[in-house]
Amino acid sequence: MVKVIKQYKPGGPEVLQVEDVDLAPPAPGEVRLRHTAIGVNFIDTYFRSGLYKAPGGFPFTPGSEAAGVIEAVGEEVEGFKVGDRVVYTDAGGGYAQARNIGTDDLLLIPEGVDDRTAAAVLLKGMTVQYLIRQTFKVGPEHTVLWHAGAGGVGLIAGQWLKSIGCTSIATAGSPEKVKLALEAGFTHAIDYRTDNFVERVAEITGGTKCDVVYDSVGKDTFPASLDCLKPRGLFVSFGNASGPVSAFELSLLSQKGSLFATRPTLFSYTSTRPALEACAADLFAQIKSGVVKVTIGQEFPLEDVANCHRALESRATVGATILTV
């Protein structure tokens, strides 16, 4: 028997239930993975609440990423063996002590990266990778605005952007989080609860504004984010922490300077095995070189997952959050 978190309907954290289930032997193409650490991401709350449709419907086990050790290998599995340390990110099933999983999304954890770090960083770190390397290739000549700079994704972004040498501006929701963003490597940080971030961006940039805005907040920062962009700048919406961006007229983009806007997802950028491996390899290289250091701000036992989600949704967390098993 293994402990698994299940939900039978969308709702608040209270819908997450701890159950004991039997785990069958791995099917062909699968491995049995004993989790050592489970990453928690804001997207998990979207699936739980019903903002995003749960893949496969209900009952549903949330959890987008986890690390662990392979305990058994099914037939037709190539490239993985018992004892391998692996990590994955997908659309569900991670909130469990152990699971059977296909190998398409599995990645070997390289030497020099521990399981807790791998579980805490893979989704967030690959998100930063595709955003700053692919969606908009940030160079030292660029000015970047990053909302939620003290969050799990933001703290990784601050470090990575510092290594690139660009001018990076973060927003955060308290003096403590502003300090964390600056310590992570952002050039500037704005407390959006006390300052008008559009005015502060204009002051910081001498009125020239930003080449790109990365926005995972959503409703509370739109459309003000557009006012932080240079003409023909790019607005990148990659999350909805405060609620989704409402429908708007496309003419708004022309009115504010012939702007571009995109709503990308990691899974579109890692839909092939070579793309997935390249994205992860770049991330692991940044970790091993010391460019990116992962801050695990809080840990919750798997059985306390409801309180974990409450902390996440109240924006009371700092850095990455993991479940321990």
pLDDT digits (tens, 9 = 90+) for 163-184: 999 999 999 989 999 999 999 9
Q: What is the pLDDT of residue 152?
A: 83
Q: What is the pLDDT of residue 144?
A: 98
Q: What is the pLDDT of residue 28?
A: 96
CB 107 within 8 A of CB 50: no
Q: What is the pLDDT of residue 91?
A: 63
Q: What is the pLDDT of residue 3?
A: 96
Whole-angstrom Cα distance, residue 94 to residue 125?
A: 18
For 124-144, letters b (16+ CB in 10 Å) and e give bbbbbbbbbbebbebeeebbb
Domains in the chain, CATH or no CATH each: 2-121+268-324 (3.90.180.10), 140-263 (3.40.50.720)
Q: What is the pLDDT of residue 56?
A: 84
Neighbours of 203 (CB within 10 A): 13
If the chain, 325 residues long, is cut into consecutive pieces of 10 residues, what is the mean pLDDT of each piece?
95 96 94 96 89 89 95 94 94 90 94 93 94 98 96 92 98 93 97 95 98 89 93 93 78 94 94 95 96 90 96 80 92
Helix/strand/coil for 143? strand
Q: What is the pLDDT of residue 37?
A: 97
User: For residue 53, what are the CA distances in angstroms to 182, 206, 210, 266?
Assistant: 36, 43, 34, 17
Q: Which own/partner contact pairs does 296-299 have at CB distance under 8 Å and 24+ positions apart?
A: 296/116, 296/117, 296/120, 296/320, 296/321, 296/322, 297/152, 297/321, 299/323, 299/324
The identity of residue 127, as a single letter, is T
Helix/strand/coil for 38? strand
pLDDT digits (tens, 9 = 90+) for 172-227: 989 999 999 999 999 999 999 999 999 999 999 999 999 999 999 877 788 999 99
